[in-house]
Structure 1
Amino acid sequence: MKNTILILFLGMSLSCLAQDSQLFQNTWYLHNLNINTQNNVPPINSEVMSISLTLNTNNLNTNNYNYFSSWVCESLGGEVDYDDVNQNFMFTSLAQTLGGGCYQTSNANYESLYFNYYFNNVNNPFEYSILSNSDGSKTLTVSNSSGDKTVYGSVVLSTHEYSVNRFSVSPNPVLDELFISEIAGLSNFSIAIFNINGKRVLSLNRSNLKTESFNVEKLSKGLYFILFEDKLGRIEMKKFIKK
């Protein structure tokens, strides 16, 4: 299961892959939506397990090679034209379905924020880049003319191996000491903390974690992901903000 942790975050290379075919070879899962330098991590709950993006080569409705489709509760779809030389694309059409929408307010708000990222820039090109990670996974970044960006991965950020409420971290946001609940009964586990760029910034295990807390004072301000792994290889992910 250590490979699972790697698949989630590790090893982003600096080489950018320009081959357009990679866009179509993967289902992409939203990892972050950065607007006005503010990170907006997608919700993970019973209504929204993941937010996916596909670029289809054989869409049944349009028979168009370049078709963009993304889903939250509703679907966002449109035709796109690609500029392989400049690595960007523009929409020639874009629309969303009008079904029941999300029932949870937080999901509905996030869906609106995400869809408007594309709607509000529909007449301008979106630049894209694909990074190949050392574990074989890929990261797709789509940027608009304002510098906002969406970050997708070829794998889902998943917490399904544990009950969602197995662990909790507090306080959140945190200034110095971060407390973790429900770990006292675990005899063998490891903890890894990653920043929003996928870089591991801290690693701990049961032997060097004497209490249910550890100090994060030296971390820079921002959003972090904390991953717990037990001896069976099961993992759980939580998010926290360092202030």
Structure 2
Amino acid sequence: MAGLFITFEGGEGGGKSTHVGRLVQTLERRGIAAIATREPGGTPTAEAIRDVILSGAVAPLGAAAEALMFSAARIDHLDKKIRPALAQGKVVVCDRFADSTRAYQGALGNLDPKFIRELERVTVGDTRPDLTIILDVPAATGLARASARRASAPVDRFEAENESFHAALRQCFLDIAAAEPERCVVIDATQPPDAVEASIWSKVSQRLAAAGLLDKTPVAPKPVRKSSKRKEARRS
């Protein structure tokens, strides 16, 4: 049986990596094989490309060059990690995917939509998310969270953009959700983390049940949440 491909999207500071981790823990407690991954990244080659992109070294070359770099990382990620896991019947939970390229480089980079669609066709093919969770926060809130998370670490290529950029980015993700309501779910990420987690599980469990992946056996006790200052994985 093929697995299920779930992606998390949204602007800065929405809590994507936090909730990717929480969801995978919940799946594992229910006896469902799952892996967490991220974009750009997920494989050694893709992680190396990530470092180059987030350093800002590619930015002077323009949005098209950035989109191509993201796509190169995505090809390796899909071939070496995502597709093999799905073929094994696992649930793959990914922090960012092709929607981020649509939003960051496509809409905000003013690239021709035909270019983005063709790039996605070649790169992604039929391996498209079964469910996309968009964690929505106002730009100012997300940037404040990202700043607190980052502490003294350097600002990456995208966090360095101004608030108007991030407000436009938020709208890009909401537009994607509106265009594909059968795939995308928007969740208010200004809620407390446990409330966000519950909202996510409500949507995910429906898809798991429809795919025949939701185990009816008793669930292991939920671990007590401990406060953590772990950084959220950034950017795809």
Q: TM-score, normalised by structure 1?
A: 0.23
Rg (Cα) greater in structure: 1
Q: Which has the higher helix share?
A: 2
Q: Which has the higher strand share?
A: 1
Q: Which has the higher contact order (CA 8 A, sep 6+)?
A: 2
Q: TM-score, normalised by structure 2?
A: 0.23
